[in-house]
Amino acid sequence: MSEHEGDGEPGFANGPWLWTAYRAYNELLREKLKKKFEAQEGPWMDNVADVLAKIVQSRWEGGRQQEKAAGELYERLEKLLSE
């Protein structure tokens, strides 16, 4: 019996290949989830990302006119997040 058997860490008792298999499985699951989220939420996330990018840009530009634009952008962001 090795010193790592039964310690709850997958792959240590059975060698690095089992650990590699667990990691590959989890990476595949992550990719599948990303595809599902992209299909279901992609357009909405694109809108959120656009508004966030505009908020950052308006903060960099500064000035009174930009404060008004930023307020409008925050309103758009709140609306998107409440959908």
Which residues, including other chains, have CB under 8 Å from residue 17's CB and lie 6 or more apart?
A: 11
* Lookup result for tokens 């950052």: 56
pLDDT digits (tens, 9 = 90+) for 14-63: 678 888 999 999 999 999 999 999 999 999 999 999 998 988 887 777 76
pLDDT digits (tens, 9 = 90+) for 61-77: 776 666 667 778 888 88
pLDDT score for 3: 46
Mean pLDDT (whole number) for 75-80: 86
Cα separation of 35 and 23, whole Å?
Answer: 18
Angle at 46 between CA 26 and CA 24, to 5 degrees: 10
